[in-house]
Amino acid sequence: MLRKMDIKNEDDVKSFSRVMVHVFKDGITNWGRIVTLISFGAYVAKHLKSINQESCIEPLAESITDVLVRTKRDWLVKQRGWDGFVEFFHVQDLEGGIRNVLLAFAGVAGVGAGLAYLIR
């Protein structure tokens, strides 16, 4: 996709807007697509830096922001913005729960062993 875009200067960044509009062409908006768009923008920015076109990175970021604010503002507000994003991608800490169960078991076993020793 990046090769097709051929971004080499600030004017070429405008072609990125077409990609952004294409992502949402079917009318479906979700956090996955928002993240995909921003991630692709980061990938393009990394490419721009590697070809010494760092002056194009800020217009690229502005372009992404403009499209999201202009076309997805209502959806973002309805989803509660950043809070909704964090809530959507929240991963429950299963390790912490297992650790607590194991510590409780070890504690009970330790108390049981201590009582057994004292009773002897």
- Please state which CATH class domain 2-89 belongs to: mainly alpha
Structure confidence at residue 102 (pLDDT): 72
Question: For 90, which DSSP code?
Answer: -
Of 72 and 112, more confident: 72
Cβ density class 74-112: b for 16+ within 10 Å, e for less: eebeebeeeeeeeeeeeeeeeeeeeeeeeeeeeeeeeee
Of 18 and 5, more confident: 18
Tell me the C-alpha distance between 20 and 67, whole Å: 7
pTM exceeds 0.75: no
Q: Do the Cβ atoms of 49 and 57 come closer than 8 Å?
A: yes
Asked if the model's pLDDT at residue 92 lies above 60, the reply is: yes
Instruction: Give the pLDDT band of residue 87 (cuts 50, 70, 90).
Output: confident
Q: Range with the lowest mean pLDDT among 41-50, 74-83, 87-96, 105-114? A: 105-114
Tell me the C-alpha distance between 3 and 77, whole Å: 34
